[in-house]
């Protein structure tokens, strides 16, 4: 007699379509070859493709779980030496996640529920083998979904961690940026403003000394002051363009990159070769800023880590796609640094590019050194 209560997970065998199904690996823990034959018969009837192995003791079971790597275990609940529940607990202790169905002649409802509570995926009464194919598929899918969920949770955890580190890095960069601004204001503007003040004080002294100054002297004094003011204007411009690439809007992105590489060469004694497109580039503000920052971050990495003597920058637009390649001739980035969750500069670069629906690559260049390649669609 068919027991309706045995149908815990999937009721209707007919719903399953094995047409395009894969071949399943089934491990039977069963001392009765006849029962295995009956079960296999049901599976074949349902059109399921499978290969199977049968074991009836603990040692064989352990060996086959490892060697055969079954997709599912069908275990007799009532073996004398090593029964189904013992087998299940053993897998659990070993952290081996295999879909698991108990097969039994008779089983009280309470015992069945206890087994399910412990984590067994399903149980099948020997009187209702018809349900076996559906139960197998259901148990396998359940495990797949669990694995998917765990993978997803792990990925989410990793990206939370990355985000936390990025925010942290962002805060540190703000502090560093402030220090740079303070230093630049002090060293660049501070010096020339002091010079200007001295020039003005001297001029006042001469003008109020009672002595008549020649026209030439007055011109020279004002010429000197005017030169100092030009220097101040130049310093202010340099400082602001370092701070805000937007300040270079009127110059355009190509000139901004040119300026950046000149500054880089001055500071680092690394030659920089630029290959830019001839015509003016019409990029969105968002893309221009990203490009500017990408070049900045990559050049900083070259200066800090590469030991290179030369860096080459290629920039081009073809068929609405922007290509950027930055190549140095240094020692080459180590493989583990490329994907490390500690490489926040690289993570930031990758995210910047992905936000613009582009592709990012960093790796060892063919002739040594490091290569950063970027492709970003330019359509707005
Ligand atoms: N051009 C390069 N040549 C050699 N190694 C590199 C190069 N660029 C990056 N690396 C390696 O990759 C690592 C990660 O770079 P990433 O920019 O993410 O971090 P960082 O520069 O160390 O620190 P920051 O967070 O300040 O950028 C570096 O520490 C360095 O070891
Ligand atoms: Mg860096």
Residue 298 CB–ligand 1 contact under 6 Å: no
Higher pLDDT, 208 or 172: 208
pLDDT confidence band for 330 (50 / 70 / 90): very high
**Cα gap 10→6, rounded to integer Å:** 10
Ligand found nearest the CA of 365: 1
* Strand pairing category for 321-328 and 370-377: antiparallel
**306 CA distance to ligand 1 centroid (A)?**
9
For the cut 70, the answer to whether the pLDDT of residue 129 exceeds it is yes
Question: Is the confidence at residue 131, as pLDDT, over 80?
Answer: yes
Ligand 2 is an ion; its neighbours by CB within 5 Å are: 301, 345
What is the 3-state secondary structure of the chain? CCCHHHCCCCCCHHHCCCCCCCEEEEEEECCCHHHHHHHHHHHHHCCCEEEEEEECCHHHHHHHHHHHCCCEEEEECCCCCCCHHHHHHHHHHCCCCCCEEEEECCCCHHHHHHHHHHCCCEEEEHHHHHHHHHHHHHHHHHHHHHHHHHHHHHHHHHHHHHHHHHHHHHHHHHHHHHHHHHHHHHHHHHHHHHHHHHHHHHHHHHHCCCCCCCHHHHHHHHHHHHHHHHHHHHHHHHHHHHHCHHHHCCCCHHHHHHHHHHHHHHHHCCEEEEECCCCCCCCCHHHHHHHHHHHHHHHHHHHHHHCCCEEEEEEEEECCEEEEEEEECCCCCCHHHHHCCCCHHHHHHHHHHHHCCCEEEEEECCCCCEEEEEEEECCC
Q: What is the CATH number of the domain that holds 62?
A: 3.40.50.2300
Q: Beta-carbon neighbour count of residue 366 at 10 Å?
A: 8
- How many degrees, rounded to 5, is the angle at CA 187 between CA 182 and CA 188? 100
Mean pLDDT for the chain overall: 86
- Which of 135-139, 209-213, 336-340 has the weakest average pLDDT? 209-213
Atom of ligand 1 nearest to the CA of 304: 21
State which residues form the domain around 141.
4-148
CA 275, CA 278: separation in Å to the nearest integer? 9
- Which ligand lies nearest the alpha carbon of 302? 1
> In terms of domains, do 257 and 366 share one?
yes
Ligand 2 centroid to Cα of residue 278, in Å, is: 30
**141 and 252 fall within a common domain:** no
Q: In terms of pLDDT, which residue wins out, 239 or 222? A: 222
- Atom 25 (ligand 1): residue with closest C-alpha? 345
**What is the reported pLDDT for 19?**
52
> Do the domain assignments include residue 17?
yes
pLDDT given for residue 8 in this prediction? 40
Question: Which of 148, 174, 203 finishes a domain?
Answer: 148
Give the number of the ligand closest to the Cα of residue 332. Answer: 1
CATH number at residue 277: 3.30.565.10
Give the pLDDT band of residue 13 (cuts 50, 70, 90): very low
Comparing 124 with 14, the larger pLDDT belongs to: 124
Residue 250, token pair as written in the block: 């009127």
Q: What is the mean pLDDT of residues 67-88?
A: 91
Assigned domain for 242 exists: no
Q: What is the mean pLDDT of residues 322-329?
A: 97
Q: Is 70 exceeded by the pLDDT of residue 58?
A: yes
Asked if residue 166 is part of any domain, the answer here is no
Q: Which residue, chain included where needed, has tokens 């900045």?
A: 296
Closest approach atom of ligand 1 to CA 340: 14
Residue-wise pLDDT for 137-192, tens only, equals 999 999 999 899 999 999 999 888 888 888 888 888 788 778 778 777 877 788 88
- The closest-lying atom of ligand 1 relative to the alpha carbon of residue 302 is 1
Whether 12 and 133 map to the same domain: the answer is yes
Closest protein CA for atom 11 of ligand 1: 333
For residue 370 and ligand 1, the question of a CB distance below 6 A is answered with yes
Tell which of 107, 127, 148 closes a domain. 148
Residue 350 · residue 360 · CB < 8 Å: yes
**CA–CA gap between residue 338 and residue 372 (Å, rounded):** 11
Asked if pLDDT for residue 326 goes beyond 70, the answer is yes
CA nearest 326: which of 297, 285, 355? 297
Residue 75 pLDDT > 50: yes
pLDDT band at 16 (very low <50, low <70, confident <90, very high): low
On whether residue 338 sits in a domain, the answer given is: yes
Segment 244-273 mean pLDDT: 82
Query: Is the CB of residue 328 below 6 angstroms from any atom belonging to ligand 1?
Result: yes
Residue with CA nearest ligand 1 atom 17: 345
Q: Tell me the two tokens of residue 232.
A: 């101040």
More confident residue, 2 or 104: 104
For residue 140, the model assigns a pLDDT of: 93
Q: Quick one: 254 and 134 in the same domain?
A: no
- Strands lying side by side in the sheet with 370-377: 271-275, 310-318, 321-328, 370-377, 359-364
Q: pTM of the full predicted structure?
A: 0.54
Q: What is the pLDDT of residue 11?
A: 42
Within a domain: residue 298?
Answer: yes
Residue nearest to atom 16 of ligand 1 (CA): 345
170 in a domain, yes or no? no
Domain match, 257 and 139 both: no
Q: Are 252 and 379 within one domain?
A: yes
> What's the pLDDT band for 2 if we cut at 50, 70, 90?
very low
Structure confidence at residue 81 (pLDDT)? 83
Instruction: For the chain, give the number of residues.
Output: 380
Q: Encode pLDDT of 197-206 as tens digits.
A: 888 988 888 8
Ligand that comes closest to the CA of residue 300:
2
Residue 210 counted as domain residue: no
User: Do 142 and 8 reside in the same domain of the chain?
Assistant: yes
Q: Does residue 12 carry a pLDDT above 60?
A: no
> Domains in the chain: how many in total?
2
pLDDT at 9 over 80: no
Q: What is the mean pLDDT of residues 119-126?
A: 91
Distance, in Å, from the CA atom of 121 to the CA atom of 177, rounded to the nearest integer, reads 57
Q: Is 330 in the pocket of ligand 1 (CB under 6 A)?
A: yes
Bridge-partner residues for 27, per DSSP?
53, 73
* pLDDT of amino acid 102: 92
Q: From ligand 2's centre to the CA of 345, what distance in Å?
A: 4
- In a domain, residue 320? The reply is yes
Q: Which of 128, 148, 168 is the last residue of a domain?
A: 148
Mutation probe of ligand 1 site: the residue of 177, 337, 352 with most atoms within 8 A of C-beta: 337
Ligand nearest to C-alpha 344? 1
263: pLDDT strictly greater than 80:
yes
């Amino acid at each position: 007699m068919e027991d309706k209560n045995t149908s815990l997970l999937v009721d209707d065998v007919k719903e399953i379509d094995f047409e395009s199904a894969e071949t399943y690996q089934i491990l039977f823990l069963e001392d009765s070859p006849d029962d295995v034959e009956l079960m296999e018969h049901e599976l074949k009837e349902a059109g399921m493709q499978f290969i199977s192995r049968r074991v009836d003791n603990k040692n064989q079971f352990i060996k086959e779980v490892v060697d055969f790597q079954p997709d599912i275990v069908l275990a007799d609940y009532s073996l004398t030496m090593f029964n189904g529940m013992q087998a299940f607990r053993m897998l659990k202790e070993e952290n081996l996640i295999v879909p698991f169905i108990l097969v039994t002649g008779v089983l009280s409802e309470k015992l069945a529920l206890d087994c399910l509570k412990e984590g067994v995926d399903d149980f099948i009464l020997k009187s209702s083998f018809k349900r076996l194919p559906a139960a197998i598929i259901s148990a396998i899918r359940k495990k797949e979904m669990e694995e998917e969920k765990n993978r997803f949770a792990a990925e989410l955890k990793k990206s939370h961690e990355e985000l936390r580190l990025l925010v942290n890095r962002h805060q540190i960069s703000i502090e560093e940026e402030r220090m740079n601004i303070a230093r630049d204001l002090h060293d660049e503007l501070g010096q020339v403003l002091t010079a200007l003040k001295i020039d003005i004080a001297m001029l006042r002294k001469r003008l109020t000394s009672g002595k008549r100054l020649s026209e030439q002297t007055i011109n020279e004094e004002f010429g000197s002051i005017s030169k100092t003011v030009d220097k101040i204007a130049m310093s202010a411009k340099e400082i602001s363009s370092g701070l805000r690439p937007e300040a270079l809007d009127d110059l355009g992105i190509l000139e901004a990159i040119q300026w950046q590489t000149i500054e880089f060469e001055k500071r680092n004694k690394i030659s920089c070769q630029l290959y830019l497109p001839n015509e003016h580039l019409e990029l969105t503000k968002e893309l221009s800023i990203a490009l500017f920052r990408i070049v900045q971050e990559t050049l900083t990495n070259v200066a800090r880590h590469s030991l290179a003597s030369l860096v080459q920058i290629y920039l081009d637009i073809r068929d609405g796609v922007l290509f950027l390649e930055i190549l140095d001739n240094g020692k080459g980035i180590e493989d583990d640094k490329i994907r490390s969750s500690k490489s926040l500069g690289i993570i930031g670069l990758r995210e910047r590019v992905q936000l613009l629906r582009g592709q990012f690559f960093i790796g060892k260049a063919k002739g040594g050194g490091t290569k950063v390649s970027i492709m970003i669609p330019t359509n707005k």
